[in-house]
Amino acid sequence: MVDSPLVRPDGRVVAVVVAFNRRDLLQDALDALATQTRPLDAILVVDNASTDDSAQVARNHPAAPVVVTLERNTGGAGGFAAGLAHAVASLGADGVWLMDDDTIPTPTALAELLAAWATHPAPVDAAGSRVVWTDGRDHPMNTPRSRPGASRAALAAARRAGVVPVRSTSFVSMLVSADAVRTHGLPVADYFIWNDDFEYSCRLLRDGTGLHVPASVVEHRTKTFGATDADPGDRFYFEVRNKIWMFTRSRALGGGERLLYGASTLRRWARTVARSQARGVLLRAGGRGLRDGVLRRPRPTSEVLAGLSLASDVVVLDRSVR
């Protein structure tokens, strides 16, 4: 077995929960983290300038999480970037377990991720859980992408470990090696929402090892069951802009992958518009996203988060290149 920071018995795992105006769900998420069969070494709640009492709920929780409130809402992308940076640079994490405040892990979710990590013969950069909705169905919003072209040896090793090799995974329960963060940097905070986990996990796993661990289960308590292409309204702007940024500005994908995922994205956009009850809204939002995706490029994460809490940790780990 390959020695890895998360395999060692003394490996330190920090959960990072990004919270925004969902205090009841945050309470449930923290309750679930407090009852993990493999106890966490620390829990960090990054409050994205909530206007409810999410930060106070976290501070009052018996799990005693570290709570940091950002001075403005930086979206999921900024929250995860700041949280990852603080967990690795200041909290001494060997592994960082990422999730939103509507992610409710089952009691063995972390233990199963770590067991798969320890069993796999190659060093692992990231591992993700099986994500279900409130009724137990697999959630279509958080489907990992299997690794195309995986060798027979890699597939056999994965089967023995009870996992699936993947090319990308979701921030709804994603365990990341601190070494991978030091090498590849942080999520692109300028994405704000959507595709930040797709870009980041693809960047980590372009030459690294990623696992989908079906035995590790978390519940994603979204309001409705469905993927992000279910009539997203004005948020379609972020889908279009960020995908263009990823395909043209990121080192996460190779040339063939850009064509493969680009074609898939165009088909998905066409389905989204065709099914929409507000096509004009989507077309206008998509048009703005197309314009900004082509004419602009994402700013370095340290620039986006400058002046906020945890900014000094972000500077340490930011690998953004203009």
Half-sphere exposure of 289 (CA within 13 A, CB side): 25
Q: In angstroms, rounded to a whole number, what is the distance separating the alpha carbons of residues 269 and 240?
A: 9
Phi, psi of 40 (to 5 degrees): -75, 150
Instruction: Let me know if 135 is exposed, middle or buried by CB neighbors in 10 A (0-12, 13-18, 19+).
Output: exposed
Q: What is the pLDDT of residue 119?
A: 86
Comma-separated ranges of CATH 3.90.550.60 domains in the chain? 1-223
Q: Which residues of the chain have pLDDT under 70?
A: 1-10, 227-229, 321-322
Q: Are 143 and 198 in contact (CB under 8 A)?
A: no
Contact residues for 50 (Cβ-Cβ < 8 A; gap 6+): 19, 20, 21, 23, 69
What are 20-52's pLDDT values in tens digits?
999 999 999 999 999 999 999 999 999 999 999
Q: What is the pLDDT of residue 40?
A: 97
Q: What is the pLDDT of residue 122?
A: 83
| CATH number attached to the domain at 1-223 | 3.90.550.60
Q: In angstroms, rounded to a whole number, what is the distance separating the alpha carbons of residues 78 and 84?
A: 10
Q: How many CB atoms lie within 10 A of CB 151?
A: 10
Q: In angstroms, rounded to a whole number, what is the distance separating the alpha carbons of residues 183 and 204?
A: 9
Give me 227's structure tokens. 């993927």
DSSP 31-91: HHHHT-SS--SEEEEEE-S-SSSHHHHHHHSTT--EEEE-SS--HHHHHHHHHHHHHHHTS
Q: What is the pLDDT of residue 90?
A: 97
pTM, rounded to two decimals: 0.93
DSSP 146-191: E-TT--HHHHHHHHHHT-EEEEE--SSSEEEEHHHHHHH----GGG
Half-sphere exposure of 242 (CA within 13 A, CB side): 20
Q: In angstroms, rounded to a whole number, what is the distance separating the alpha carbons of residues 169 and 173?
A: 9
